[in-house]
Amino acid sequence: MLRRRMRIGRGFFHVFVFVAFVFCGIAASNQRTVPHFQPMSSTEPVERKYAPDRNVDIQNIIIDVTPDFKERSVEGTTTIKFSPISKDLTELRLDAIELLVSSVTGSVKIAGYTVGDKAITITFDKPIKPGTETTVVIKYKAFPKDGLSFRTPELGYKESDIHVFSQGESHTAPYWYPNYDYPNERSTSEVICHVPADMTVLSNGRLISDETDKKSGLRTVHWKQEKPHVNYLIALVAGKFEKIEGKCGDIPIAVYATPSNIKYAEGTFKNTAKIMEFFNKEIGVDFPWNKYYQVAVADFGASGMENTTLTVIADRTLATPDFENIRSNDFLVAHEMAHQWFGDYVTCKDWSHVWLNEGFATYYEKLYDGYANGKDQLLYSLYNTAESILANKNEQRPIVFRAYADAEDQFDNRAYGKGGWILHMLRCQLGEDLYRKCVKEYLVRYGLSSAVTEDFVEIIEQLSGRSWDRFFDQYVRLGRFPELNVSYEWLQGEKLAKITVEQTQKPVNNVDIYYFPVKIRFVVNGKAVDEEISIDSKKQDFYFPLAGKPAIVLFDPDYTLLAQVTFKKQPQMLYDQFADKSNVIGRLQAIEQLKENTDAETVKKLKDALNGDPFYGVRIQAASALKDMKTDEAFDALAKSLKQSDARVRLEVVSDVGSIYRPESLEIILKTLKEEKNPAIVSDCIGNLGLYQNEKTKGLITEYLQSDSFRSMYANSAVGAIRKLDDASFAGRLEEAIAQRQNIFPVQLVSSALDTLAYISRNEKDKTKAREFITDFVNSKNPKIQEGAIRALGTLGDGKSLAVIESFCSKEPQLPIQRVANDARDKINKAKPFNPEEVVKLTQSVEQLKKDSDKMQQQLDDLKKQLTATGKLKESKKAEPNDVNEPSKNEESEPEDDD
């Protein structure tokens, strides 16, 4: 580690040798055999992020825009009303990314303004006193690279479906209007949009006016959100849409979709009112806005976005009745609607607390699922989420985390899945009624404002009378989760059941013990006996007197604890647990262990469950377990269980059979392709054709590649099959399909097809044809296809693509295309073969540098001797502490940088 200051002499040499070693190490690190020096780590600490200071209180923002659909630009005028908070204000900084500002005026005299790449700074002629209401008006033009997306024929979309939509979270709104872009500030907002008369305009809040100018022919629509909300929730959607209306009590509900998609919208969003009714009752605070609209747009980056009163949904989530129960949007509708309370009505103050938005939405989505489909469904959803959390043992970051590089880094399973599980554990420990009371108070107290985790904790402590510091320290402020080894022993003579619980997780921040309550259930003679225990040590033994030896022993039978639990049991106890229809989690956990056995009895029980268990999730897990066994008997059990009335189970069985390479599997795939009507199941079969290298299957893959289907699902699966085959002979067929059907394929499919072309061509000696074909898409007008093409060049791994890729790279990437380009460049560079000549040259340079430094040191020593001999050095004695080799006492005592 280096000090802040460099010194001449030996220190100069050490710096350059360090740099040279690092450079050589990086060059050599791509090989298994490296020179005697190892590469130095380039990992640097990330600055902790906090909410910025609020110098002004923004009361209202008016965004008046005219989109140009041909030019894909907007002419805009943004009016911001604000007042300084505590100090005289001499200048106002607003977030504005690459806006072409033409003028700035205001209610006070403006001395001038400066426009940068990321902000506009307005300087006032005289300081504005705190509390003085002031207005600034900024006129500008924007060609948004993010934040506002056009869907036009020039980009490959239908003329009849032309539209534009915004996406503000987390920091993309400044690409199309100037603003204060952080969630610790709220204001009312107005959006005024001018479009052709046949277009619809949607935005937040209440419709103020909708008029058409006879001279210009433009339709002007004015929306106003009269309740304050954070900036990233401001929304604009405009274009050719059709509408389906409804109501929930007094709240207007509507769904909008483009003309080509409206026929799918009604079925997809049919339960919106039912979900709102459930949330009103469950949350205890009625829907807090004046309307709730949902609009499906093309190629939306996420699945949905919860703008106040106007949720934007990706049209790829729409489905037809043919999918049966495999595709349902209820979870998505519930998640985004829950945000209207959690995230919109109360918003996290900064991104380190984003779990207050996403964790709540995730958990309430699950609560609705349990309400609509039964408690087993709620538990199964929690089970699947827990599996994804527990599988990531390398995740050390806590939920509340400030050392992130980009706000988007916070939107992961810590905020969503683990955040939801935190609420589930709270609900179980508090009890449902007290939990609801806490959540209602949280919304009442912090409604229309921002909050942090401590605000929520304070309410729980006030209403429960208990301290929750340890709970939130363990699960929210520290990373990881408990890892437990549980064992059971029956002591016949004493008629005691012995339970041992040992915590095996690695310490995080020197904390290696979790404290929590948990229940143990013993089933004796058909009756359940529950015992509460408290875990507070590394290893604990518990003894319980029972009337007889239990047939079933369950740790946390009600599924209230997020933990990795290993509890090995004898086969008969597992069979009894598996047969208990009253506990779905017990059955799922039994399957986890039973699949490790491959005996005939276990296979039979799994087959019976696959065809007879009352809950579909257990049937799905039983099928998956049979697949994992990889025996002839298990395969036969699967193959004889294809007839399933529940499409979700049928998909699992067909998929599991098809994923096993054997002639019988191929026969089942081909038979299913002829008989099955469900597009999701057909698509899965097409994908599994990629396991078979024969002309018949290759011919089928080619047919499906060129076929028409709902959202080109079959072509998409064919592309996946080609990738599995990894057969370069498909390159020509892929190129033909992409060239002929790029305006039919969804954008994501064009991108994945390009990447698959690159993948199957990556080992070819001559990559010219593939490289040139992919490079033609690098300058596509559609940014998503651009990104796909650049990503594909990285997959191709042709060094001749580097110049093209690097033209899109950035040292500080802000846009998705820059991040993709950086990744593609790095991928190619890492794959470069080791060149020993480069290391030899670097080593020679280092040796020469050492010689030069030694010569310089000798010259300095000679100069010192000469000065001493002439007596001149004595006059400079005070300077000795700053000698080239010895640091001063002051410098020595300075702390070293951690950078």
Q: What is the Cα–Cα distance from 807 to 816, expressed in whole angstroms?
A: 14
Q: What contacts 811, CB < 8 A, 6 or more positions away?
A: none
> What pLDDT score does 19 carry?
31
Q: What contacts 36, CB < 8 A, 6 or more positions away?
A: none
Q: What is the Cα–Cα distance from 604 to 606, expressed in whole angstroms?
A: 5
**Side chain identity at residue 386, one-letter code:** A
In the structure encoding, which two tokens stand for residue 616, read together? Answer: 């579909």
222: nearest Cα among 192, 199, 198, 200: 192
Strands (E), 442-599: 449-451, 483-491, 496-503, 516-524, 527-535, 539-545, 552-555, 564-567
Q: What is the Cα–Cα distance from 316 to 296, expressed in whole angstroms?
A: 9
What would the pLDDT profile of 635-649 be if each residue is shown by its tens digit?
999 999 999 999 999
> What pLDDT score does 891 carry?
37
Q: Confirm whether pTM is higher than 0.85.
A: yes
Q: For the sheet containing 134-142, what is the strand order? A: 100-106, 134-142, 73-84, 56-68, 186-196, 218-230, 206-212
**Side chain identity at residue 705, one-letter code:** L
In the structure encoding, which two tokens stand for residue 425, read together? Answer: 């554990």
Which residue in the block uniquely carries the two structure tokens 């916070």?
410
Q: Mean per-residue pLDDT for 858-864?
A: 75
Q: What contacts 54, CB < 8 A, 6 or more positions away?
A: 85, 180, 184, 185
Is the confidence at residue 843, as pLDDT, over 80?
no
Is the confidence at residue 862, as pLDDT, over 80?
no
Q: Which residues pair with 193 in a beta bridge?
A: 65, 221
DSSP structure string for 622-650: HHHHHHHH-SHHHHHHHHTT---SSHHHH
Is the confidence at residue 104, as pLDDT, over 90?
yes
> What pLDDT score does 511 carry?
86
Is the confidence at residue 37, as pLDDT, over 50?
no
Q: What is the Cα–Cα distance from 884 to 881, expressed in whole angstroms?
A: 9
Q: What is the Cα–Cα distance from 814 to 170, expressed in whole angstroms?
A: 12
218: nearest Cα among 237, 236, 192: 192
Q: What contacts 289, CB < 8 A, 6 or more positions away?
A: 205, 227, 251, 308, 309, 340, 344, 345
Contact call for residues 124 and 92 (beta carbons, < 8 A): yes
Which residue in the block uniquely carries the two structure tokens 């490790």?
596
Q: Mean per-residue pLDDT for 612-630?
A: 98
What would the pLDDT profile of 667-710 be if each residue is shown by its tens digit?
999 999 999 999 999 999 999 999 999 999 999 999 999 999 99
Contact call for residues 201 and 193 (beta carbons, < 8 A): yes
Q: What is the Cα–Cα distance from 688 to 554, expressed in whole angstroms?
A: 38
Q: Mean per-residue pLDDT for 772-796?
A: 97
Phi, psi of 454 (to 5 degrees): -60, -30
Q: Mean per-residue pLDDT for 117-134?
A: 98
**Side chain identity at residue 367, one-letter code:** L
Sign of the CA dihedral running 311, 245, 199, 288: negative
What would the pLDDT profile of 177-214 be if each residue is shown by its tens digit?
999 999 999 999 999 999 999 999 999 999 999 999 99
What would the pLDDT profile of 155-176 be if each residue is shown by its tens digit?
999 999 999 999 999 999 999 9
List alpha helices for 613-746, DSSP H: 616-629, 632-639, 647-658, 663-675, 679-688, 695-705, 713-725, 731-741
In the structure encoding, which two tokens stand for residue 810, read together? Answer: 């950035």
Which residue in the block uniquely carries the two structure tokens 């806006």?
99
Distances (CA, A) of 635 to 597, 619, 632, 657: 14, 15, 5, 7
Q: What is the Cα–Cα distance from 122 to 92, expressed in whole angstroms?
A: 5
**DSSP class of residue 762?**
T
Point out the least confidently predicted range of 310-319, 336-345, 813-822: 813-822
Q: Which residues pair with 545 in a beta bridge?
A: 496
> What pLDDT score does 703 carry?
98
Phi, psi of 492 (to 5 degrees): -60, -45
What would the pLDDT profile of 646-676 be if each residue is shown by its tens digit?
999 999 999 999 999 999 999 999 999 999 9
Residue 320 vs residue 833, higher pLDDT: 320
Give the pLDDT band (50/70/90) at residue 508: confident
Which residue in the block uniquely carries the two structure tokens 């076929």?
707
CA angle (258 as vertex; 306, 226 as ends), nearest 5: 35
Q: What is the Cα–Cα distance from 742 to 407, expressed in whole angstroms?
A: 33
Is the confidence at residue 886, as pLDDT, over 50?
no
134: nearest Cα among 81, 91, 181: 81
Mean pLDDT rounded to a whole number for the chain: 91
Is the confidence at residue 786, as pLDDT, over 60?
yes
Phi, psi of 346 (to 5 degrees): -120, 130
